[in-house]
Structure 1
Amino acid sequence: MSIELALKESMTIPGALGVALVDYDSGMALGTMGGGDWFDLEVAAAGNTEVVRAKLRVMASLSLNDSIEDILITLHRQYHLIRPLTTAKGPTTLFLYLVLDRERSNLALARHQLKRIEGNLTV
């Protein structure tokens, strides 16, 4: 599945407000969909690269032999879901960043659907 199709499918997740595919090495979004004047996905994508980098640094400091499945940030009205991508070749420097309206979303379903989209995405 292409990046554009993955972003479109992510936006069909109930409650989705915006989605981005982000490279945490550069902080650049490879693609975004949704968001708007009230929520700049480019800025959010760049900022969340720091979240991913910080967690990876902590894991390395603790010598954890593990990987991040996803990171959830819970706000009063939104969920922010960060899912680092893994391919058949192993981990990448990419993550999917999904913003959900908390009142209209089902977090367990969103995590499941984002995992399925990750499995079909080819970059």
Structure 2
Amino acid sequence: MANLEISMKETMTAIEGAVGVAVVDYTSGMALGTLGGGKDLDLNVAAAGNTDVIRAKVRTMEHLGLKGEIEDILITLASQYHLIRLLKGRGGSGLFIYLVLDRGRSNLAMARHQLKRIEAELEV
């Protein structure tokens, strides 16, 4: 099992095109940890904003009577992919990984695969 810091470092190095990563508590909107980002990508602001995305999707699923759990949410921009992966398992309830990828340098399918593996090893 890997701790938060190790998992974020692995995300940034193992996933080609990774620009920034955060682990976020979507009950509060607070980032438990961030790595990467930059002047054009404030991961703390993005963490809070994406909390609203998750809450809206959960409400919509409830209104529609949809069963099952959200695995991930993808937001596609002209130059980036924003991947939100809800954590499962012990200690992961109420948390998500937020990953920003450079669209020109990343492989979305591989990034999703790697992120799932990193999630499985993450100990929060």
Query: Alpha-carbon deviations, 1:8-62, whole Å to 9, x = none?
Result: 0110110000000000000000000000111100000100000000000011111
Separation in structure 2 between the aligned mates of residue 88 and residue 65 of structure 1, nearest angstrom: 21
- Match of 1:21? 23
Separation in structure 1 between the aligned mates of residue 67 and residue 95 of structure 2, nearest angstrom: 19
Q: Does 1:97 align with 2:84?
A: no
- Match of 1:72? 74
Match for residue 54 of structure 1 among 53, 56, 81: 56
Q: Secondary structure at the match of 1:11?
A: helix
TM-score by length of 1: 0.96
Greater strand share, structure number? 1
* Structure 1 ranges of 4+ moved more than 4 A: none
Query: Offset of 1:88 from its aligned partner?
Result: 4.7
Match of 2:68, as an amino acid? D
TM-score by length of 2: 0.95
Structure 1 unaligned regions, length at least 5 = none
Question: How many residue pairs were aligned?
Answer: 122
Query: Offset of 1:63 from its aligned partner?
Result: 1.5
Match of 2:98, as an amino acid? Y
Match for residue 41 of structure 2 among 39, 42, 58: 39
Separation in structure 2 between the aligned mates of residue 88 and residue 5 of structure 1, nearest angstrom: 18
- Match of 1:2? 3
